[in-house]
Structure 1
């Protein structure tokens, strides 16, 4: 793949395909329905109107329980364009300086923060202080300290903090988790996660340490970390890591190009993962157990995700990930629903602790113990 943001365009599920989804009880797709919905709706403002914010907005047009009602941006022309495209009233439009005023807007329930990584911390805390639920793209913060402060702020304000872990609702992923829990693979021995692409524009924010907080690990490597945890079903207890950098101009100090890392788990299972901004065609998870295996290839792209196990292909119909995510998050916020794999701040804090440990391991060449 050229970039994880340039996967195949989302496939719109036809009305004929939707009934098939009911056969997969663990997919987390129960919220997608062709029937007329008349219950409560989560009213969402999107902060950050870039490429991914646009993808989420488009996906939300198919949601029944989540609705785009507001925007927050530092670019007036984008605000104007979104107002026209999504019929957003002027009173629900804000910029980065005045969005604290959402505290007085009863038409907005939650804000989805989709801005560069280093901005998440302060913006989520401001959202919480305004009394609105916060949805934040990953990584939630640029380190574990920031992540904990964001959790604390949302708890103090008595609002939910959710993180954009769209793969936690993806049907193939959830089916493999179900099979692992059922013992179909036996004792889990090994996980491999390969996540990478060759990044383009050297001036983009993802290659700016002050905005990104790092390099490939903060953007694509986090998928392998998270995938190892939810597919193995344990929390790691140690990490080792090695960094390789071949282009010191593009990947400046503090911006990692390629990191290989290994995780150890209490059961004895191990994970071997790679995160890179300098190799294409890396989007694969592999899980090995004493009785079987599972593979996702592609594993984290925008879809379709392809899954297979020692029992055969999964062949689960594709539904746009962001549509499912927002429907399920509406259920979490409105109904207190508990997802199969958590998407709350505490889940993101665990990934942040592991990322901190990976960076430490690359600097020290030592095995770093984990307690998350």
Structure 2
């Protein structure tokens, strides 16, 4: 398996115990069964495997519709035009996409390109007056992330980050249980995120494009998951790096990082991010009164979970369909999600990742101020 998306898809397929119900709409989440209101018109930037997954999922969306595409590959543009019915006037390349400013068919752009490209592309979209959805991590460091947040605020457009798990039903049920005190005082969180990466020439192993290695790809799930599972912001981090293949994982491209987080309440987290081990997609939350576990925790689904009171049985809905409907509600109706998905949320993860890399370099605890 060569990429995080291959890994997440494989985890999903290997863990299926419920039928895939991509046609089931997230009515419980935003009550849109008979939705007749405004629709968010979205252009996807970056027509790779995940862009395709999002586009396919949007076929089932009620509040979001694919209306435009941006790509540097003319053949992909032609293919998508045919597949998704995109008119020529809504097709752009990376040189001319600033012209979306004058296109009323596009309300928002979903940036799904390599990490290092996000910063400039998001700022250009904001300057064009369009809302932005950006894949995670939103940038390669917190300085870039802050500049993106500031640019979107200045342009008076929303910046959302592609945290699909923030809308996943089993995940939200655990968050509800924790918030309602059913787990008691939270004591410990474990987040395992990893797979064996394949092609050594892919962009995810190129520091200039990825900004790092496993931490910037799969590890961000454990970073973000620790925050929404514990329900607090960490105040310190320690971290250790292991590298067994320096030829494949060159300088600045991390293979495996173990990191620990401390929270104001005294809760601690122990997490693993790796490109060298498979079968790692597990969250475990322990409290004084009970526990909650997800395994797989972040795959494309179905997510499987249990707590001290039994199995979690919320139905599986295609994550990207739910995400796009929920994000449309945030942009069009100013809906407030249970767990934020805005630029500030993405910026906090980047600050933690910066601190993790710093802790690896220094070999000591690094304080966090989020």
TM-score range, shorter chain: over 0.9
Ranges in structure 1 where 5+ consecutive residues have no aligned partner: none
Structure 2 CA distance, aligned partners of 1:250 and 1:315?
41
Which residue matches 1:369?
367
Which residue matches 2:347?
349
8 Å CA contact retained: 1:216, 1:275: yes
Alignment of 1:169-318 (within 5 A): 169-318=167-316
Which residue matches 1:93?
91
Alignment of 1:34-183 (within 5 A): 35=34, 37-183=35-181
Which residue matches 1:13?
21
Question: RMSD over aligned Cα, in angstroms?
Answer: 1.5
Structure 2 CA distance, aligned partners of 1:31 and 1:220?
32
**Structure 1 residue 201: Cα displacement:** 0.5
**Structure 1 residue 281: Cα displacement:** 0.1
The alpha-carbon distance between structure 1 residues 184 and 102, as it changes in their structure 2 partners (threshold 3 A), is same
* Alignment TM-score, normalising by the size of structure 2: 0.95
**Structure 1 residue 295: Cα displacement:** 0.1
**Structure 1 residue 38: Cα displacement:** 1.9
Ranges in structure 2 where 5+ consecutive residues have no aligned partner: none
**Structure 1 residue 32: Cα displacement:** 5.1
8 Å CA contact retained: 1:31, 1:328: no
The alpha-carbon distance between structure 1 residues 95 and 31, as it changes in their structure 2 partners (threshold 3 A), is farther
**Structure 1 residue 322: Cα displacement:** 0.3
**Structure 1 residue 30: Cα displacement:** 2.8
8 Å CA contact retained: 2:2, 2:199: no
**3-state SS of paired residue (1:5):** helix
**3-state SS of paired residue (2:200):** coil
**Deviations along 1:76-135, whole A, 9 cap, x unmatched?**
000000000000000000000000000010110000000000000000000000000000
8 Å CA contact retained: 1:128, 1:154: yes
8 Å CA contact retained: 1:4, 1:301: no
**Structure 1 residue 223: Cα displacement:** 0.5
Structure 2 CA distance, aligned partners of 1:32 and 1:318?
17
**3-state SS of paired residue (2:30):** coil
**Structure 1 residue 4: Cα displacement:** 3.8
**3-state SS of paired residue (2:82):** helix
Structure 2 CA distance, aligned partners of 1:278 and 1:261?
16
**3-state SS of paired residue (1:351):** helix
Structure 1 CA distance, aligned partners of 2:161 and 2:351?
15
* Alignment TM-score, normalising by the size of structure 1: 0.95
**Deviations along 1:14-56, whole A, 9 cap, x unmatched?**
77x66xx76xx6xxx33552x3x32100000000000000000
**Deviations along 1:239-289, whole A, 9 cap, x unmatched?**
000000000111000000000000000000000000000100000000000
